[in-house]
A and B are shown apart, each in its own frame.
Chain A
Amino acid sequence: DAGVIQSPRHEVTEMGQEVTLRCKPISGHNSLFWYRQTMMRGLELLIYFNNNVPIDDSGMPEDRFSAKMPNASFSTLKIQPSEPRDSAVYFCASSLNGQGAGGYTFGSGTRLTVV
């Protein structure tokens, strides 16, 4: 298994531009999580999908952020318009049946820089 695959690995964009981050979870995992990591705040949950349905999006910071999971093997996190304070590393993680306690597998992350 190739693990959780995220793309791109690095993204540099100008303020105001749209950014789309992509994630392919582990095959067979039915729970998917998007996290944001910064030095100041550590890892923060943005949104949680179970069986392709958004269950908890309370961590999405603003309406500029949106996430979709059109099928079991693909999810996107979009920021439109992007701002410099969105600069962070964004991680996607997947698990079986939402097992937040144990079954998480993280991707390698997308480092986003908004200038």
Chain B
Amino acid sequence: KNQVEQSPQSLIILEGKNCTLQCNYTVSPFSNLRWYKQDTGRGPVSLTIMTFSENTKSNGRYTATLDADTKQSSLHITASQLSDSASYICVVSATNSGYALNFGKGTSLLVTP
């Protein structure tokens, strides 16, 4: 069964600090992995997409890594800001699934002043 597990479930950090969110998956055959940011009361918005051959991809202060061998991904947030407070969702696609996505349950991040 295709599964996506995220950790931690929730996280509180001080503004300016860095943090790393984890995503482990069993989706196979792997196509790509996306990290979404979901602000409270809004729909998810894509941050990065990574394919099998990519190890690292950055989007501003967000850096995603992918280890396709161990089926792990991480999202690193540098110099956190209050606006980073949101839920971060890992989404994995399989090559034979077309439109179907496998969602993690998300990590809820709170950045405090």
Residues of A whose CB lies within 8 Å of any CB of B are 4, 31, 33, 41-45, 48, 50, 55-56, 91, 93, 95, 98-102, 104, 106-109, 111
B18 within 8 A of A: no
Q: Is the beta-carbon distance between A33 and B44 smaller than 8 angstroms? A: no
**Cα-based distance from A42 to B44 in the complex (angstroms):** 12
B98 within 8 A of A: yes
Q: Is the beta-carbon distance between B31 and A101 smaller than 8 angstroms? A: yes
Contacts across chains A and B counted by CB atoms under 8 Å: 56
Q: Is the beta-carbon distance between B99 and A108 smaller than 8 angstroms? A: no
Contact partners of B34 in chain A: CB under 8 A: 101-102
Q: Is the beta-carbon distance between A98 and B98 smaller than 8 angstroms? A: yes
Question: Interface size class for chain B?
Answer: 20 to 34
Interface of B is mostly: loop
Our pick among A44, A50, A95, A102 for the contact of B49 (Cβ within 8 Å) is A102
Q: Is the beta-carbon distance between B99 and A106 smaller than 8 angstroms? A: no
Q: Is the beta-carbon distance between B93 and A100 smaller than 8 angstroms? A: yes
Contact partners of B97 in chain A: CB under 8 A: 100
**Cα-based distance from A99 to B99 in the complex (angstroms):** 6
For B92, the closest partner residue in chain A by CB is A101
